[in-house]
């Protein structure tokens, strides 16, 4: 690999390369060598920017968690428009795309990564899933305030139930993502209990 090539925003390039590998080959294929080869840079580039590979992975997960903030704002802004089930279907589909599901598997697979994420996120919970449930809960609260959900809807139960059930729909990497109608059917069934 050439070593004199200037890289723009190395972190973003490495994160994007890791996502492509996760999407294409799954979490077992994710190694520092695979990431740097995919990014088209020398292996030492990763280690100049991160303490080690688990630090890189932790920063990747935290970066992706940070993106949920923008999704949460957009979802909350959609309260009162469209249908509640339709809005949640779109949000869960965006939240639980193939890369996110692969990241959840990666977190499960790597003990050191989980330990680093626990240090970085003292609030606990499963990274991405916890933030996704908070995003859904915020939206459900807004819809409840608008009267589109019953006043006694148990949002603290509905939100993680939707994320968990959604994850089960999206977790099978071999058959591809579920159809939007399947996701909406699950959302509707969960909301029916509200």
Q: What is the pLDDT of residues 132-189, one digit of tens each?
A: 999 999 999 999 999 999 999 999 999 999 999 999 999 876 777 899 999 999 999 9
pLDDT confidence band for 8 (50 / 70 / 90): low
**CA–CA separation, 103 and 35 (whole Å):** 14
Q: Where are the domains of the chain?
A: 1-49, 52-192
Give me the residue label for tokens 């020398």: 42
Q: What is the pLDDT of residues 166-175, one digit of tens each?
A: 999 998 767 7
pLDDT confidence band for 2 (50 / 70 / 90): very low
Q: What is the pLDDT of residues 45-87, one digit of tens each?
A: 999 999 999 999 999 999 999 889 889 999 999 999 999 999 9
Q: What is the pTM of this model?
A: 0.85
**CA–CA separation, 86 and 46 (whole Å):** 41
Three-class SS string for 5-52? Answer: CCCCCHHHHHHHHHHHHHHHHCHHHCCHHHHHHHHCCCHHHHHHHCCC
Residues in the chain: 194
Task: Please state which of the four CATH numbers 3.40.120, 1.20.140, 1.10.357, 2.60.60 is assigned to the domain occupying 52-192.
Answer: 1.10.357
DSSP 111-142: HHHHHHHHHH-TT-S-TTHHHHHHHHHHHHHH
Q: In the 8-state DSSP scheme, what is residue 179?
A: P
Q: What is the third-level CATH fold of 1-49?
A: Arc Repressor Mutant, subunit A (1.10.10)
Residue of 156, 149, 131 whose CA lies nearest to 80: 149
pLDDT at 190: 96
H or E element that contains 106: helix 98-109
**CA–CA separation, 180 and 192 (whole Å):** 18
Q: What is the pLDDT of residues 91-119, one digit of tens each?
A: 999 999 888 888 888 888 888 999 999 99
Side-chain-facing half-sphere of 67: CA atoms under 13 Å:
14
The answer to whether the beta carbons of residues 183 and 166 sit under 8 Å apart is: yes
pLDDT confidence band for 3 (50 / 70 / 90): very low
């Amino acid at each position: 690999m050439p070593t004199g090539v200037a890289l723009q925003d190395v972190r973003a390039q490495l994160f994007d390369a890791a996502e492509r590998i996760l999407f294409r080959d799954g979490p077992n294929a994710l190694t520092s060598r695979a990431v740097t080869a995919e990014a088209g840079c020398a292996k030492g580039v990763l280690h100049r920017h991160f303490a080690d590979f688990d630090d890189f992975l932790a920063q990747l997960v935290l970066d992706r968690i940070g993106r949920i903030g923008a999704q949460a704002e957009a979802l909350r802004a959609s309260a009162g428009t469209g249908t509640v089930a339709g809005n949640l279907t779109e949000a869960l589909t965006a939240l639980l795309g193939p890369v996110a599901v692969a990241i959840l598997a990666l977190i499960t697979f790597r003990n050191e990564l989980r330990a680093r994420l626990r240090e970085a996120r003292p609030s606990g919970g499963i990274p991405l899933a916890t933030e996704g449930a908070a995003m859904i809960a915020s939206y459900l609260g807004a819809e409840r305030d608008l009267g589109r959900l019953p006043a006694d809807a148990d949002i603290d139960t509905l939100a993680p139930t939707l994320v968990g059930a959604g994850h089960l729909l999206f977790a099978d990497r071999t058959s591809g993502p579920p159809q939007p109608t399947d996701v909406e059917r699950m959302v509707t069934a969960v909301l029916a209990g509200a």
